[in-house]
């Protein structure tokens, strides 16, 4: 009796997915626990493994198909045709004791490359035509960054790389990968991205690209936020002189002690927590006709990634030290780039911070991340004239923006929130005492 391969439950907020890539074809033998297909969701990717050893009898939804949780992806005929593919040492598959000993006069058949790797790494390897076995991993799994580094190396150097021992990877969660049906690409299509399915629609070089699940979800949620919340943005300006002076004095000692640079993000996370304690409705959400005030501080920090902005969450930021905050943000940035953020990294959050200043933005109006009701926007630090003690002086200044849901946050509260952050950042000694 055939066994169904179903779309698993990935997370409480995820109800659908897209078939990113089948790793097996109909008629292929599979081992129990072997990855069969990669699914792309709006937050993370998941590999669906074979529940039993056997033969992949039917694929119900091909690459690029949209599916719901619980849908049948395909069927496995258990037990049939598995003698040639089971018995790999160290795997989770079922060992077939009747497998004949190979003829010593014949060279063994090459094994499929099952190097431990993230889905984004495997896609990058396919796009760049780089065997995963030739990629030197910087960690326990090959990442997209590892593949790109290998692809950029001269071919001769790449061939001399030490191969990674093939093993079967277990089910993992990582950041979304755009993988759908590949279509023929015109030669030198303008603006075409490697590995992306595009359709030329005019002689002038237009291309059409299907949105990834993440990008489609970002678009939908941003529109929903503006349609369902009464969003308003208020601004202030902060003098960064004291923070920059403190960083200059302490950066070397901080780096030597904690192994991470002292950035500005930790100052604003700490200042935001202190300000949220004084204006609790900015750390709340609306559920029906009730306001849910949250007495914990899980701060989302926006991080740029290849497939769009992600907002991993620093849990209990009020209890974290400056070093722990900086280490957490650096880890998020690294894993956003190599595709190893998990659903738990992105789930929840009571308030968010986004820094457009890293891209040179001088001012913006960020959009809240529902069901949160507030988001703090940081911007570029620029030397500008300021008045101090009756004198015009040049100071490093930054514009702050707070977008909030006016349904439960009054304008006065929003102004007090930004003023408190300004006070704390301009006097880091008070911020340290508040922490």
* Enzyme catalytic residues: 406, 410
Instruction: Rounding to the nearest 10 degrees, give the CA dihedral for residues 387, 393, 394, 397.
Output: -20
Reduce the DSSP state of residue 126 to 3 states and report it.
Answer: helix
Which residues share a beta bridge with 387? 392
In a 13 Å sphere around the CA of 139, the CA atoms on its Cβ side amount to 15
Query: DSSP string spanning 331-376?
Result: HHHHHHHHT---HHHHS--SEEEEEGGGGT-S-------TT--EEE
**What crossing angle do the helices spanning 322-338 and 144-152 adopt, rounded to 10°?**
60
Evaluate whether 270 touches 434 at the Cβ level (below 8 Å).
yes
| Non-local CB neighbours of 429 within 8 Å, separated by 6+ positions | none
- d(CA 43, CA 221) in angstroms, rounded, equals 13
Q: Reduced to 3 states, what is the DSSP secondary structure of residue 382?
A: strand
Q: What gap in Å lies between CA 313 and CA 344, rounded to an integer? A: 9
CA-based end-to-end distance of the chain: 62
Phi, psi of 330 (to 5 degrees): -65, -40
How far, rounded to the nearest angstrom, does the alpha carbon of residue 199 sit from its chain's CA centroid?
Answer: 27
Q: Write the CA distances from 299 to 26, 115, 434, integer angstroms.
A: 46, 35, 17
d(Cα 341, Cα 332) in Å, to the nearest integer?
A: 7
> What is the rounded CA–CA span in Å between residue 285 and residue 373?
6
Question: Cα separation of 9 and 316, whole Å?
Answer: 27
Residue 26, strand partner residues: none
Do 355 and 378 meet the contact criterion of CB atoms below 8 Å apart? yes
Q: How far is CA 44 from the centre of its chain?
A: 7
SS3 412: helix
């Amino acid at each position: 009796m055939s066994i169904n391969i179903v779309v698993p439950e990935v997370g409480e907020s995820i109800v659908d997915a897209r078939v990113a890539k089948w790793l097996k074809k109909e008629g292929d033998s599979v081992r129990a626990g072997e990855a069969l297909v990669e699914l792309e969701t709006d937050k993370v990717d998941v590999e669906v493994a074979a529940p039993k050893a056997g033969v992949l009898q039917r694929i119900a939804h091909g690459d690029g198909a949209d599916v719901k949780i619980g849908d049948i992806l395909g069927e496995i005929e258990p037990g049939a045709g598995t003698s040639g593919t089971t018995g790999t040492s160290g795997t989770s598959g079922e060992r077939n004791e009747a497998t004949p000993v190979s003829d010593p006069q014949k060279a063994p058949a090459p094994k499929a490359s099952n190097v431990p790797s993230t889905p984004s790494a495997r896609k990058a390897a396919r796009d760049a035509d780089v065997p995963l076995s030739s990629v030197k991993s910087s960690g326990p799994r090959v990442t997209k960054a590892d593949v790109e580094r290998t692809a950029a190396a001269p071919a001769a150097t790449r061939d001399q790389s030490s191969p990674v021992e093939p093993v079967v990877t277990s089910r993992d969660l990582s950041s979304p990968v755009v993988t759908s049906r590949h279509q023929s690409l015109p030669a030198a299509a303008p603006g075409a991205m490697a590995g992306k399915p595009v359709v030329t629609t005019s002689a002038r070089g237009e291309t059409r690209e299907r949105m990834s699940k993440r990008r489609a979800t970002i678009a939908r949620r941003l529109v929903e936020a503006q349609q369902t919340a009464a969003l308003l943005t208020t601004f202030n300006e902060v003098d960064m002189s004291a923070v920059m002076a403190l960083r200059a004095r302490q950066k070397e000692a901080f780096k030597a002690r904690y192994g991470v640079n002292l950035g500005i993000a930790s100052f604003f996370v700490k200042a935001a927590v202190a300000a949220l304690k004084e204006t609790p409705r900015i750390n709340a959400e609306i559920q029906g006709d009730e306001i849910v005030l949250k007495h914990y501080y899980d701060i989302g920090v926006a991080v740029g990634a290849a497939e769009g902005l992600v907002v991993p969450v620093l849990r209990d930021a009020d209890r974290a030290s400056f070093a722990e905050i900086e280490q957490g943000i650096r880890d998020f940035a690294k894993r956003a780039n190599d595709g190893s953020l998990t659903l738990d990294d992105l789930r929840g959050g009571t308030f968010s911070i986004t820094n457009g200043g890293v891209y040179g933005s001088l001012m913006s109006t960020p959009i809240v991340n529902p069901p949160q009701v507030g988001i703090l926007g940081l911007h570029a630090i620029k030397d500008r004239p300021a008045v101090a003690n009756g004198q015009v002086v040049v100071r490093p200044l930054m514009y702050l923006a707070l977008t909030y849901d006016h349904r439960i946050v009054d304008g006065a509260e929003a102004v007090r929130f930004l003023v408190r952050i300004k006070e704390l950042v301009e006097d880091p000694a008070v911020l340290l005492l508040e922490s």
